[in-house]
């Protein structure tokens, strides 16, 4: 069986996928050594510069066969080369991934023609002080200012996503807490956080005065108590169900002064 094939553009015999994945493993391991050493030596120190040689050889070996190498980091899972997990045997390598996550960098693209100085620039950017990154206009701008053309970032606003998730969780918790207090009448807002095909703004609910009868149907009123109704409201999977149970709760639990 033939395991290798000849790259028609370069004339170089291609290595099997496993061998190239091993090269990516070695590259990340060697880059992690550089990353750690960068906090110990000045950027132009001979001991630090010598450490760039191995990762440059690792990534160049793969770029000789392909147009580009894309390495991405997924929080909680680690590094991937395409769909192939890499650097699984060295958990410490995730330290670089976590730094990329902090900088909101999803992927790093290495293009054929990459130079040794480009790797130096990469480490200098991801280890730079935040004020330097901000003054340059972001990681991409800082990298480009160093003359790098064969290496670039693909960004995703992970930080913003996490902030939104936390905000949603907090507001959902506030809603549940408010409903458990008799007479809060708080019924608006949860629709924004229900998952499904329906999207839009939640309608504004006004508390129904005590004198107004509850909008419960005749068959629902005598049989369903408030606790069961609250449970249905919390577990609503569609907007009509949420609207109906929410309106019913409004009728049963009018707002007390100062609670809204």
The pLDDT of residue 161 is above 60: no
pLDDT tens across 102-116, in order? 998 989 999 999 999
Domain count, the chain: 2
The pLDDT of residue 60 is above 50: yes
Same domain, 170 and 142: no
The pLDDT of residue 150 is above 70: yes
Same domain, 19 and 122: yes
Identify whether 259 is part of a domain.
no
The proportion of the chain whose per-residue pLDDT surpasses 70, expressed as a percent, equals: 60
- Note the pLDDT of residue 160: 53
The residues, ordered by sequence, that sit 6+ positions from 95 with a Cβ below 8 Å of its Cβ are 32, 35, 36
Q: Which of 50-54, 134-138, 168-172, 189-193 has the lowest mean pLDDT?
A: 189-193
Distance CA 109, CA 152 (A): 5
Q: What is the mean pLDDT of residues 193-222?
A: 45
Task: Return the closest-CA partner of residue 37 out of 88, 79, 96.
Answer: 96
Same domain, 150 and 164: no
The pLDDT of residue 197 is above 50: no
| Range of the structural domain that residue 212 is part of | 160-252
Same domain, 80 and 27: yes
213 burial via Cβ count (<10 Å: 0-12, 13-18, 19+) = exposed
Last residue of a domain, one of 101, 121, 156: 156
Say which residue, 106 or 208, is predicted with more confidence: 106
pTM across the whole model = 0.55
Identify whether 257 is part of a domain.
no
Same domain, 150 and 23: yes
């Amino acid at each position: 069986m033939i395991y290798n094939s000849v790259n028609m553009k370069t004339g170089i015999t291609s290595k099997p996928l496993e061998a190239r994945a091993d090269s990516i493993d070695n590259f990340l391991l060697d880059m992690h050594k550089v990353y750690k050493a960068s906090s110990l030596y000045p950027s132009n120190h001979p001991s630090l510069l010598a450490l760039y040689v191995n990762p440059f050889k690792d990534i160049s070996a793969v770029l000789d066969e392909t147009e580009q190498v894309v390495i991405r980091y997924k929080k909680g899972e680690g590094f991937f080369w395409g769909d192939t997990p890499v650097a699984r045997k060295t958990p410490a390598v995730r330290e670089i991934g976590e730094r990329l996550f902090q900088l909101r960098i999803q992927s790093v693209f290495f293009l054929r023609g990459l130079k040794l100085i480009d790797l130096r620039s990469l480490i200098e950017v991801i280890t730079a002080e935040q004020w330097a990154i901000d003054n340059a206009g972001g990681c991409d701008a800082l990298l480009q200012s160093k003359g790098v053309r064969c290496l670039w970032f693909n960004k995703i606003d992970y930080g913003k996503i996490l902030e939104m998730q936390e905000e949603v969780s907090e507001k959902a918790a506030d809603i549940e807490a408010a409903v458990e207090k008799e007479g809060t009448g708080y019924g608006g807002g949860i629709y924004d956080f229900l998952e499904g095909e329906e999207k839009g703004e939640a309608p504004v609910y006004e508390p129904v005065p005590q004198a107004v009868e509850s909008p419960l149907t005749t068959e629902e009123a005598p049989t369903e108590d408030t606790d069961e109704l609250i449970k249905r409201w919390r577990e609503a999977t569609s907007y009509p169900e949420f609207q109906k149970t929410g309106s019913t709760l409004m009728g049963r639990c009018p707002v007390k002064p100062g609670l809204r």
